[in-house]
C-alpha cells in the first residue's frame, strides 16, 4: 500500500488540477454570459389616438421597462395567435378611453394574458405590471388627495400647479427607479452561488474519478488469490469488507487533499480581487453534526459506488472505463456539468434521484447549509444507495469466485 500511495497521490493531484480547471472555466463562463432575458409583449390598442400612443410610448421608454421589454402593436386576432405560438410572453388589451378613464377616476381594466410556457419572461413581466399598477395607484392617490385638499381649502385655482409638481416628483424619483420594484433573485444554481455550485460538483466528480486511480485497491482480486485467503481463514465477506474499507480510507485521504485546494482557490480569489464566501460558517452543534454526518456518508457512498463498479466490471481496464463513463454520465444528469434547470424535466427528475444527485446536494448543503428536510433526504438517499450498491458488489464478487 505504501508503495502504491505516492503514485495514487500524484494521479489525484493531476486529476484535481484537471477538474479544477474545468470547474473554473464553468464558473467563468457563467459569470461572463449573464442570462439575457428579453420579454416580447404584444399590445392591442382598441382605440388608436394620439393620447393613447403617447402613453404607450412613455411607458415603453421608461428605464425599468425598456431594459427588459419590447412592445409590438398588433391586432387582437394577431395578438392571440402570437401568444399561442409562444412568440410573445404576454398580450395586453388596452380598453377604449383608457387615458381619459385614468384621468377621471373610472380606471378601466387593462386585460393582460400570459402564455402558459413563458416561464421566466412571464414572471418578469408580471412583476413589472404589478409594480407599474402600484405606481399608478400611488400617483392617482396623490392627485385625488391634492384635489380634495385644494377643494377643502378653496384654492382650486392652484390645483394644476400642484398636479404638475406631483407629476414631476413622480417622474424624477419614482418611475425610473428600479429599486422600487419587488426583487426576487432567481438563480440556476438554487441557493448556492455559481462558485459554490461548481465547487460542490467538482468535489464530487473528483472523488468519483479518483476511483480510477484506486484500481490496485478496489479491483476484484483473482479468484485463486481469494480462495487462498479463504483457505487461510479469511472469509469472502471479510475480504470484501477489508477491500472496501481500504478504498474508503483512500477516498478519505484524498478528500483531505480538497482542503488545501480550497485554501489555494481562496488565496487566488483574494489575489484577483474576488472575495467570495465558499463555506458558510458553522453556527451551532447541530450544523456541525450535520456537516460531519454528510461528509462521512458522502465518502462511504463514493467508495461503495467505486467498489460496486469495479465489481460489476470484473477487471481493471473495464472497471476504469466504466467508472469514467458512468461517473460523467451521472454527474451530467444530476446537473454537475450544466445546472439541471437547463436539462429536460424528465432528466432533472432522474438526475436528482441518482447517487450523484444526493452527493451534489450533500456537498452543497455543506457549503450553504440547507434546511433539515433536505439534509434528511440526502442522508436517507445516501444510506439507501450505500446498502444497494454494497449488496450488489458482494453478489458480483461472489460470482467471480464461483
Partner 1 sequence: MLLFSDNLWYYKCMNKMISVQDITSAYGRRPVLKGASFTAERGECIGIVGANGCGKSTLLSILAGTLKPKSGEVRYYGQAAWSGPQMRCSKEVIRKMTGYVPQENPLIPELTVYDNLRLWYPDSGRLKQELEEGFLHLLGVQEFVTKQASKLSGGMKKRVSIGIAMSGMPPVLLMDEPSAALDLICKEDIRNYLEVYLQRKGTVVITTHEESELELCHKLYVMKDGRLQQIDRALRGADLVKMF
User: What residues make contact with partner 1 under the rule CB under 8 A?
Assistant: 3-4, 216, 221-225, 227-228, 230-233
Cβ proximity to partner 1: between 129 and 315 the closer is: 315
Cβ proximity to partner 1: between 226 and 361 the closer is: 226
Minimum CB–partner distance for residue 235 and partner 1 (Å): 9
Minimum CB–partner distance for residue 224 and partner 1 (Å): 4
Cβ proximity to partner 1: between 1 and 133 the closer is: 1
Minimum CB–partner distance for residue 394 and partner 1 (Å): 19
Cβ proximity to partner 1: between 140 and 230 the closer is: 230
Minimum CB–partner distance for residue 227 and partner 1 (Å): 4
Cβ proximity to partner 1: between 219 and 311 the closer is: 219
Minimum CB–partner distance for residue 212 and partner 1 (Å): 14
Minimum CB–partner distance for residue 189 and partner 1 (Å): 41
Cβ proximity to partner 1: between 323 and 337 the closer is: 323
Minimum CB–partner distance for residue 254 and partner 1 (Å): 18
Minimum CB–partner distance for residue 233 and partner 1 (Å): 6
Per-residue HEC secondary structure of the chain comes to: CCCCHHHHHHHHHHHHHHHHHHHHHHHHHHHHCCCCCCEEEEEEECCCCHHHHHHHHHHHCCHHHHCCEEEEECCHHHHHHHHHHCCCCEEEEECCCHHHHHHHCCCCCCEEEECCCCCHHHHHHHHHHHHHHHHHHHHHHHHHHHHHHHHHHCCHHHHHHHHHHHHHHHHHHCCCCHHHCCCCCCCCCCCCCHHHHHHHHHHHHHHHHHHHHHHHHHCCCCHHHHHHHHHCCCCHHHHHHHHHHHHHHHHHHHHHHHHHHHHHHHHHHHHCCCCCCCCCCCCCHHHHHHHHHHHHHHHHHHHHHHHHHHHHHCCHHHHHHHHHHHHHHHHHHCCCCCCHHHCCHHHHHHHHCCHHHHHHHHHHHHHHCCCHHHHHHHHHHHHHHHHHHHHHHHHHHHHHHC
Cβ proximity to partner 1: between 141 and 245 the closer is: 245
Cβ proximity to partner 1: between 231 and 271 the closer is: 231
Q: Is 97 left (phi over 0), alpha (psi -120 to 50) or beta?
A: left
Amino acid at each position: 500500500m505504501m508503495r502504491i500511495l505516492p503514485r495514487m497521490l500524484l494521479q489525484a493531484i493531476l486529476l484535481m488540477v484537471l477538474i479544477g480547471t474545468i470547474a473554473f472555466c464553468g464558473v467563468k463562463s457563467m459569470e461572463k454570459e449573464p442570462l439575457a432575458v428579453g420579454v416580447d409583449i404584444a399590445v392591442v390598442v382598441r382605440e388608436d389616438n394620439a393620447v393613447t400612443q403617447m402613453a404607450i410610448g412613455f411607458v415603453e421608454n421608461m428605464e425599468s421597462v425598456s431594459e427588459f421589454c419590447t412592445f409590438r402593436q398588433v391586432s387582437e386576432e394577431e395578438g392571440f395567435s402570437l401568444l399561442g405560438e409562444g412568440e410573445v410572453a404576454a398580450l395586453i388589451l388596452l380598453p377604449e378611453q383608457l387615458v381619459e378613464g385614468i384621468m377621471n377616476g373610472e380606471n378601466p381594466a387593462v386585460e393582460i394574458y400570459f402564455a402558459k410556457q413563458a416561464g421566466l419572461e412571464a414572471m418578469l413581466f408580471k412583476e413589472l405590471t404589478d409594480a407599474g399598477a402600484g405606481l399608478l395607484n400611488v400617483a392617482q392617490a396623490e392627485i385625488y388627495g391634492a384635489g380634495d385638499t385644494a377643494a377643502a381649502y378653496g384654492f382650486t385655482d392652484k390645483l394644476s400647479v400642484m398636479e404638475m409638481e406631483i407629476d414631476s416628483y413622480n417622474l424624477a424619483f419614482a418611475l425610473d427607479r428600479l429599486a422600487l420594484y419587488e426583487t426576487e433573485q432567481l438563480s440556476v444554481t438554487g441557493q448556492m452561488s455559481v462558485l459554490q455550485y461548481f465547487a460542490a460538483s467538482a468535489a464530487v466528480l473528483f472523488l468519483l474519478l479518483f476511483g480510477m486511480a484506486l484500481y490496485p485497491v478496489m479491483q476484484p482480486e483473482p479468484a485463486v488469490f481469494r480462495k487462498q485467503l479463504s483457505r487461510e481463514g479469511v472469509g469472502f465477506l471479510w475480504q470484501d469488507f477489508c477491500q472496501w474499507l481500504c478504498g474508503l480510507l483512500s477516498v478519505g485521504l484524498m478528500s483531505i487533499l480538497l482542503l488545501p485546494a480550497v485554501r489555494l482557490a481562496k488565496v487566488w480569489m483574494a489575489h484577483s480581487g474576488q472575495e467570495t464566501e465558499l463555506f458558510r460558517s458553522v453556527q451551532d452543534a447541530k450544523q456541525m453534526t450535520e456537516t460531519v454526518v454528510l461528509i462521512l456518508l458522502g465518502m462511504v457512498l463514493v467508495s461503495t459506488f467505486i467498489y460496486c463498479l469495479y465489481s460489476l466490471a470484473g477487471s481493471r481496464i473495464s472497471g476504469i472505463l466504466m467508472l469514467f463513463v458512468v461517473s460523467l454520465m451521472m454527474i451530467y444528469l444530476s446537473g454537475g456539468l450544466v445546472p439541471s434547470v437547463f436539462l429536460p424535466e424528465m432528466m432533472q427528475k432522474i438526475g436528482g434521484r441518482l447517487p450523484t444527485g444526493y452527493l451534489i446536494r450533500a456537498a452543497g448543503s455543506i457549503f450553504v447549509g440547507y434546511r433539515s428536510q433536505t439534509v434528511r433526504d440526502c442522508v436517507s438517499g445516501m444510506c439507501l444507495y450505500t446498502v444497494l450498491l454494497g449488496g450488489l458488489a458482494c453478489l458480483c464478487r461472489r460470482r467471480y469466485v464461483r
